[in-house]
Chains A and B, each alone.
Chain A
Amino acid sequence: MNKRVSDKAKRTVSSWLLLLPGVALMSMFTVYPIFKNIYLSFCKTGFRYKVPKWVGTANFSALFADPVFWKVLKNTVAFSLMTVLPSMIIGFLLAIILNSKFRGLRFLRTAYFYPVVMPMIAVACIWRYLYMPENGMFSSLIYSIFHTRIGDLLSRTETVLPALAVMYVWKEIGYVMIFFLSGLQNMSEEYFEAAMIDGGNFWQILTRVTVPLMAPTTLFVTMIEITNSIKLVDHVVILTQGKPNNGSNLLMHYIYQLGYEFFDQGKAAAVTSILLVILLLSSLPRFFNSDRAIHYN
């Protein structure tokens, strides 16, 4: 008994020494800033204040009274819906196709996945041209089919978020696809063969066998995709800066604007706190079913 205790004590010392650099860095740039941010949410900061000045809930009440904040929140939810659902549906279908065997698979895998390794900044620069009003690829295509000019997709409130979403989905489906693909590859073909022998058609097998069996993967991908769609700002910075009239302003870009264009870091911290709550809530399901749902192995 005594020997076991002293063994564990010894191991504790050496383990903490080995973990020291990692834990110190994570504490300093993840744990500490989370609490610091919560504190800052209740303060005024800026040029006029040497140290942050406690103002209670003033930042939050100012935000809740500001229609821009609600618009940004609505945009963020809308953008997540417009991107997470389509990229999951398309990614799932592509995974089923890539799970088959035919010539040209390697080509297709490359074509579906390559946008994932490109920087969003470069992607946005390219898509800015694809979306140009007069001679951009989209407007030319639509003109040649419907003979109408769609105008500038990025400067109209009704079209700007969908336009950003299409670009985002294009970049993201490869990433979603690989999780479904590895889920499918871990699944025994017997289920499908049995279903086929029983006379199931493609649609029946898809909805009654594949989709239910993929539920854990689907849950996991949903969590990741919500986080990804919320934390990205690069496309907004390049393409719209939140314009027109905040029609494409998203939470993370709003934080950047408040903190580094309007220099109101207290308010930026308050929005960050709200974002932290959203991230926590959207990752809760991951922990209900911990080992099965966490898909890191």
Chain B
Amino acid sequence: MRIKNKAAIAVAFLFGALMLIPLLWMIGTAFTETSFKMRIIPNTPFTLDNFKEVFTMIPLGQYYLNTIVIVVLTFSIQFVIITLGGYALARGDFYGEKLVMAIIFMQLIIPNDVLIVPNYLTMVDLKMVDTKLAIMLPFLGSAMGLFLLRQQFKTMPAALTDAARIDGASTMRIIWQIYVPNAKTAYLAFAMISVSYHWNNFLWPLIVTNSVSKRPLTVGLAVFAKSTETALLWGDICACAFVICAPLLILFFIFQKQFINSFASSGIK
């Protein structure tokens, strides 16, 4: 179904402009001297003082490092786990296959974000409260990743594996040298979802950590925003929000199509 009506297209553009207002305001406010009147297009001079201020007020550098460590480690470990598991599931035909699929669907229906109370107690038992590992651990066995890779690996022709096997290749070699290189799109899709999910995740890291050296950006910003009394600090808050959003937004503006496709292929954030 397509639209050719000029008026409808004009409305679409107007709506697009409205959607952009919060972003424009955030960028404009972050990069100009703070004024008392809220304007979409700022009329105060350009400055980087807001950034200097937030970097001295809160340990943004440390938070940044923490977030990067969490995001990179989480995806790297997920990558190995879902590759091995995805291969087994795609090959199928083993005892207990249904059980594994049932566990996967369980996590797809009940996301770990909801299970904060029992998972927190598990972390207490494991003496892992206030560690980066505790932030990552519940998300490392990703049902969505396993499912995505299973679907992708299923499309590979069996002849490919058989040929490699006749040549004497081990299962591990088949996985890493034949399956992995041929599933780039699935990995890319999962990488974008995993990275943006963990870059933006908030409640679980808030609960399970309490020291600056472990906490990610989102928790840092939330603590800062709640400790300040609104009005006059908006330049600082916007600078801080900009610093947090910028990497993902820039990636999105460049790889727009891939981002949208990967979210469309997931169905779960």
* Contact surface of A with B, Cβ cutoff 8 Å: 8-9, 11-12, 14-16, 18-19, 21-34, 36-37, 40, 94, 96-97, 99-102, 104, 106-123, 125-130, 132, 135-137, 140, 170, 175, 178-179, 181-182, 184, 187, 189, 192, 202, 205-206, 209-210, 220, 224, 227-228, 231, 233-234, 237-238, 252, 255-256, 259-260, 265, 268-269, 272, 275-276, 279-280, 283, 295-297
Q: Choose one: B16, B121, B238; the contact of A107 (CB below 8 Å).
A: B16
**In the complex, which residues of chain B have a beta carbon less than 8 angstroms from the beta carbon of A21?**
80-81, 84-85, 141
**In the complex, which residues of chain B have a beta carbon less than 8 angstroms from the beta carbon of A94?**
12, 15
**In the complex, which residues of chain B have a beta carbon less than 8 angstroms from the beta carbon of A192?**
1-2
Chain B residues 82-120 with CB under 8 Å of chain A are 82, 84-85, 87-89, 91, 93-97, 100, 103-104, 106-107, 109-120
Binary interface profile of B, 168-201, with partner A (CB < 8 Å = 1, else 0)? Answer: 0001000000000000000000000000100110
Question: Judging by beta carbons under 8 Å apart, are A114 and B117 in contact?
Answer: no
**In the complex, which residues of chain B have a beta carbon less than 8 angstroms from the beta carbon of A101?**
2
Question: Judging by beta carbons under 8 Å apart, are A233 and B16 in contact?
Answer: no
* Contact surface of B with A, Cβ cutoff 8 Å: 1-5, 8-9, 12-13, 15-17, 19-23, 25-26, 36-38, 40, 80-82, 84-85, 87-89, 91, 93-97, 100, 103-104, 106-107, 109-122, 137-143, 146-148, 151, 171, 196, 199-200, 202-203, 206-207, 217-218, 221-222, 225-226, 230-231, 234, 237-238, 240-241, 244-245, 248-249, 251-253, 256, 259-260, 263-269
A-B residue pairs in contact (CB < 8 Å), sample of 16: A15-B96, A21-B84, A22-B85, A25-B140, A29-B115, A29-B122, A30-B138, A34-B106, A40-B118, A97-B3, A114-B252, A122-B244, A237-B203, A272-B116, A279-B109, A296-B266
**In the complex, which residues of chain A have a beta carbon less than 8 angstroms from the beta carbon of B106?**
26, 30-31, 34
**In the complex, which residues of chain A have a beta carbon less than 8 angstroms from the beta carbon of B268?**
224
Question: Judging by beta carbons under 8 Å apart, are A269 and B117 in contact?
Answer: yes
Closest Cβ of chain B to A182, distance in Å, is: 5
Q: How far is the CA of A128 from the CA of B241 in the complex (A)?
A: 12
Given A135-B38, A231-B113, residue A96 in contact with residue B256 (CB < 8 A): no
Question: Judging by beta carbons under 8 Å apart, are B263 and A100 in contact?
Answer: no
Question: Judging by beta carbons under 8 Å apart, are A14 and B241 in contact?
Answer: no
Q: Which residue of B lies closest to A135 (CB)?
A: B38
Q: Which residue of A lies closest to B152 (CB)?
A: A297
Question: Judging by beta carbons under 8 Å apart, are A128 and B230 in contact?
Answer: yes
Given A11-B93, A97-B9, residue A184 in contact with residue B1 (CB < 8 A): yes
Q: Which residue of A lies closest to B126 (CB)?
A: A28
Interface centre among B93, B200, B234 (most CB of A within 10 A): B200
**In the complex, which residues of chain A have a beta carbon less than 8 angstroms from the beta carbon of B252?**
110, 113-114, 117
**With contacts A111-B20, A132-B38 known, what are 16 further pairs, Cβ within 8 A?**
A21-B80, A25-B140, A26-B141, A29-B137, A29-B138, A30-B143, A33-B118, A37-B117, A114-B19, A116-B263, A128-B230, A179-B264, A209-B1, A237-B222, A255-B117, A296-B265
Q: How far is the CA of A95 from the CA of B256 in the complex (A)?
A: 16
State the total of A-B contacts with C-beta under 8 angstroms: 299
Question: Judging by beta carbons under 8 Å apart, are B259 and A125 in contact?
Answer: no
Closest Cβ of chain A to B187, distance in Å, is: 16
Q: Which residue of A lies closest to B262 (CB)?
A: A178
Closest Cβ of chain B to A177, distance in Å, is: 9
Given A97-B3, A192-B2, residue A126 in contact with residue B238 (CB < 8 A): yes
Q: How far is the CA of A259 from the CA of B123 in the complex (A)?
A: 15
Q: Choose one: A22, A126, A296; the contact of B82 (CB below 8 Å).
A: A22
Question: Judging by beta carbons under 8 Å apart, are A96 and B1 in contact?
Answer: yes
Question: Judging by beta carbons under 8 Å apart, are B115 and A33 in contact?
Answer: yes
Q: How far is the CA of A33 from the CA of B103 in the complex (A)?
A: 13
Question: Judging by beta carbons under 8 Å apart, are B260 and A178 in contact?
Answer: yes
Q: How far is the CA of A141 from the CA of B163 in the complex (A)?
A: 68
Interface centre among A18, A31, A140 (most CB of B within 10 A): A18
Q: How far is the CA of A275 from the CA of B87 in the complex (A)?
A: 34
Question: Judging by beta carbons under 8 Å apart, are B25 and A19 in contact?
Answer: no
Q: How far is the CA of A243 from the CA of B184 in the complex (A)?
A: 47
**In the complex, which residues of chain B have a beta carbon less than 8 angstroms from the beta carbon of A297?**
151, 265
Q: How far is the CA of A256 from the CA of B15 in the complex (A)?
A: 36
Closest Cβ of chain A to B123, distance in Å, is: 10
**In the complex, which residues of chain B have a beta carbon less than 8 angstroms from the beta carbon of A15?**
88-89, 91, 94, 96-97
Question: Judging by beta carbons under 8 Å apart, are A118 and B88 in contact?
Answer: no
Q: Which residue of B lies closest to A106 (CB)?
A: B256
Question: Judging by beta carbons under 8 Å apart, are B1 and A205 in contact?
Answer: yes
Given A28-B122, A121-B222, A283-B109, residue A19 in contact with residue B100 (CB < 8 A): yes
Question: Judging by beta carbons under 8 Å apart, are A265 and B245 in contact?
Answer: no
Question: Judging by beta carbons under 8 Å apart, are B264 and A182 in contact?
Answer: yes
Given A175-B269, A279-B114, A283-B109, residue A259 in contact with residue B120 (CB < 8 A): yes
